[in-house]
A and B are shown apart, each in its own frame.
Chain A
Amino acid sequence: MSVGLVEILFNTAWQEFHSVGLYDGSLVLQSDTDVLSAVTGPRYQVFSRGLLDEFLIYTHSGASVDIDRCVIVRADRLASTTVRFQFWTSYSSTSVFDDVALTTNDLVGRLENDYVYTTDATALSLSEDGDAVTGCEAVGIKFTGASSNMNQVYFCKSIQFNQVVPGSISLSPQPRLTRTKVGKIYYETTHRISMGFHQVPGDTVLELEEAYSLRNNPFFIYNPGGEIFKKKLLHCIMLSAPHSYEYDDGYQVSLDVGILKEYNNS
């Protein structure tokens, strides 16, 4: 299935590539000191981009990674511009790309500031929308709008769940200034959500276990259809994710996450 009922989107590109940079239109690396803000961190953390036709690229020579989503935090700054999502199977000679004209109607998340790109079958020659572009050596986005601050840009291989344990999804508020340490950073969270999934295949549990970035960085919970979360996207930190064997090679996975505080910085 190309699109899950609920998907976990963590920064697969940062976990696998370990290299990120801003590049000009000719793919010449630009000097920059704050682009690491793109790979993780709280929502107030920004990097600045100045050039028209500037790329943000994750790359690692010889890598081979599958990518099927890209999340742009505070994509409202890019509304009314065209953003290119580009995937190199051999950097920088062989690639496919998809140019997307972003509008405010495309934005998701609690304050409708974020954007989730789902790989497009037509543009990328995939068999089905939402399928992964396989064997990527580099991935990037190209900005065409005027200079602006930008926040996190995640390239992800989604972990998909399709069966929710009835009555298991529950949201509650947290006291102001609740901070939780994840990796090296304390994150302020406003709410806590617990949810359970059952009949999760063993392979998916393995993906979850191997996504060590999930336990050290914020990630997203994405409900593409909006059936559960009307605003579709939650920017989270992991509090716990136990799983247990159920039956028929299926597991029950519980997620307990904190929802990151959103800021109105421009």
Chain B
Amino acid sequence: MAFEFLANISNNVSNAVQAIGTGESTGYDPYDQTHAASGPRNEINVWEPANSSGSGLHFTYDTNEWDVDYLVIVRADYLQSVANSQYKVTQENSGGTVSDLLTWTNTSGLTLIGPRDQDAIISLSTSSGQRYGNGVAFKDSTNGSNRYNTSDLIFAKAYDIGEPSKRPLPSFSRLPEQGQEFFPYEGYYPLATEVQFSLTWPILNRSEVEIFEAFLQFGRPLRVPFFLYDPTGDLLPYNLEHCIIETYSLTFLQTADHYQLQISFRRLKHYL
């Protein structure tokens, strides 16, 4: 299975956010939308559905149609702490019509992954002409009154440049408290981080380098947090890393079409 960089579509190309559900009783707060698209993991949104429509939000993307490969729910563990909780995923077509991509599904079926088993990743397959926006909503299967907490709701585009080297396996270094605040190279505010690790791709060809460059351009991983997804867990023991690129080094190996890529990452601070 692939080792993938998941770029944040929610943050990088959405130009409008709308509530799913109506009225203040949905718990929708315009302040939450920025929290939901990106930011540290301790920014929490509260969803309080008033009826069977559920409560959530829908990102409308810019005028392009985007390949949306995954939805990552940060702090999905909160959802599973509420009995009977369900989620659904919406999609938008080029005309602006929103429809269900995934109908109401029990959150108890989500597999929690990540260093503290807090996040869930949902694979999406949107049909062509339906990728102009995506949303997610939450409710109780009995339509009862509940509050649901989540952190970021990241619709993501995957970039695959192949697996990094397994020899040696990456080492994860926990950062001392005074070294945890990290100002991303292209960022505008510091992020709390807790672990540093590096991965090396010893030989990439140019087309793979171009995929990485496309990820740099679209995902802006030197500014915006993103995810590394390793479904097998061979390299990332927790399968999913919510991180930011600290720096990278791309070396031209001279042998025709051979490059080496080393990337140093910072894992975002995870909270209990």
Interface residue count on the A side (C-beta < 8 Å): 14
Task: Check if B183 sits within 8 Å of A170, measured CB to CB.
Answer: no
B178 at interface (Cβ–Cβ under 8 A)?
no
Task: Check if A170 sits within 8 Å of B185, measured CB to CB.
Answer: no
Pick the residue among B187, B247, B248, B252 that contacts A228 (CB under 8 A): B252
| Interface range, B side | 10 to 19
User: How close is B92's CB to chain A, nearest CB, in angstroms?
Assistant: 29
A148 CA to B183 CA, complexed, in Å: 39
Specify which chain B residues have a CB less than 8 angstroms from the CB of A171 in the assembled complex. Answer: 249-251
User: How close is A190's CB to chain B, nearest CB, in angstroms?
Assistant: 9
B206 at interface (Cβ–Cβ under 8 A)?
yes
Closest to A230 in B: B206
Task: Check if A175 sits within 8 Å of B249, measured CB to CB.
Answer: no
Ranked 9 nearest A-B pairs via Cβ? A169-B252, A170-B251, A166-B254, A175-B185, A172-B249, A171-B250, A176-B186, A173-B185, A164-B254
B64 at interface (Cβ–Cβ under 8 A)?
no
Pick the residue among A166, A172, A173 that contacts B253 (CB under 8 A): A166
Specify which chain A residues have a CB less than 8 angstroms from the CB of B260 in the assembled complex. Answer: 167
Within 8 A of B (CB), among A19-43: none
Within 8 A of A (CB), among B39-89: none
Specify which chain A residues have a CB less than 8 angstroms from the CB of B252 in the assembled complex. Answer: 164, 167, 169-170, 228
**A170 in contact with B186 given A164-B254, A230-B206 (CB within 8 Å):** no
Task: Check if B250 sits within 8 Å of A172, measured CB to CB.
Answer: yes
Task: Check if B185 sits within 8 Å of A174, measured CB to CB.
Answer: yes
Task: Check if A175 sits within 8 Å of B206, measured CB to CB.
Answer: no
Pick the residue among B185, B186, B253, B256 that contacts A167 (CB under 8 A): B253
Task: Check if A169 sits within 8 Å of B251, measured CB to CB.
Answer: yes
**Which residues of B does A touch, CB under 8 Å?**
183, 185-187, 206, 210, 222, 247-256, 260
A164 CA to B255 CA, complexed, in Å: 10
Closest to A165 in B: B254
Closest to B206 in A: A230
Specify which chain A residues have a CB less than 8 angstroms from the CB of B187 in the assembled complex. Answer: 176
Specify which chain A residues have a CB less than 8 angstroms from the CB of B249 in the assembled complex. Answer: 170-172
User: How close is A93's CB to chain B, nearest CB, in angstroms?
Assistant: 47
Specify which chain B residues have a CB less than 8 angstroms from the CB of A172 in the assembled complex. Answer: 247-250
Specify which chain B residues have a CB less than 8 angstroms from the CB of A174 in the assembled complex. Answer: 185
Task: Check if A170 sits within 8 Å of B206, measured CB to CB.
Answer: no
User: How close is B174's CB to chain A, nearest CB, in angstroms?
Assistant: 23
Specify which chain B residues have a CB less than 8 angstroms from the CB of A164 in the assembled complex. Answer: 252, 254
Specify which chain A residues have a CB less than 8 angstroms from the CB of B248 in the assembled complex. Answer: 172-173
Task: Check if A167 sits within 8 Å of B250, measured CB to CB.
Answer: no
Specify which chain A residues have a CB less than 8 angstroms from the CB of B253 in the assembled complex. Answer: 166-167
Specify which chain A residues have a CB less than 8 angstroms from the CB of B256 in the assembled complex. Answer: 227
Extra A-B contacts (16), CB below 8 Å, given A167-B254, A172-B248, A230-B206: A166-B255, A167-B252, A167-B260, A169-B251, A170-B249, A170-B251, A171-B250, A171-B251, A172-B247, A173-B186, A173-B248, A175-B183, A175-B186, A176-B185, A176-B187, A230-B210
Q: What are 23 of the A-B contact pairs (CB < 8 Å)?
A: A164-B252, A164-B254, A166-B253, A166-B255, A167-B252, A167-B253, A167-B254, A169-B251, A169-B252, A170-B249, A171-B249, A171-B250, A171-B251, A172-B247, A172-B249, A172-B250, A173-B248, A174-B185, A175-B185, A175-B186, A176-B185, A176-B186, A230-B210
